[in-house]
Amino acid sequence: DILMTQSPSTLSASVGDRVTITCRASQRISNWLAWYQQKPGKAPKLLIYKTSTLESGVPSRFSGSGSGTEFTLTINSLQPDDFATYYCQQYENYPCTFGPGTKLEMK
């Protein structure tokens, strides 16, 4: 199975900041990577797929990049609604594995 790691595990930031979350895969996954946002008590929400394609309705302050084994999620100009936990997921092959999550909290 492909192991996904994320860093940092927790990120403290303020409204208006630009933040970056890194996701690494234990083997090359081309660009088969997705990002999800989850708020407490809610189901996750798809933000980005195929590394950099924004899901419909997702604000343009979210962006994704990377290839191979290293990927990043960047949020420009953080908004109050963005404080949540973020997960990456590889779908190069089954089983599709998630990273452990990055909790973005308010500083």
Partner 1 sequence: DVQLLESGGGLVQPGGSLRLSCVPSGITFRNYAFSWIRQAPGKGLEWLSAISGSGGNTYYADSVRGRFTVSRDNSKNRLYLQMNNLRAEDTAVYFCAKDNMVASYWGQGTLVTVSS
Which residues, in sequence order, are bridge partners of residue 48?
Answer: 35, 54
Return d(Cα 90, Cα 49) in angstroms, integer: 10
Interface map 59-88 toward partner 1 (x if CB under 8 A): ----------------------------x-
DSSP H helices in the chain:
none
Q: 17 vs 92, which CB is nearer to partner 1? A: 92
Contact stretch for partner 1 (CB under 8 A) within 22-30, 57-65, 73-81, 96-104? 96-104
Residue type, 26: S
48 touches 34 (CB < 8 A): yes
By CB under 8 A, residue 57 contacts partner 1: no
By CB under 8 A, residue 54 contacts partner 1: no
Return d(Cα 4, Cα 15) in angstroms, integer: 28
The residues binding partner 1 (CB under 8 A) are 1, 32, 34, 36, 38, 42-46, 49, 55, 87, 89, 91, 94-101
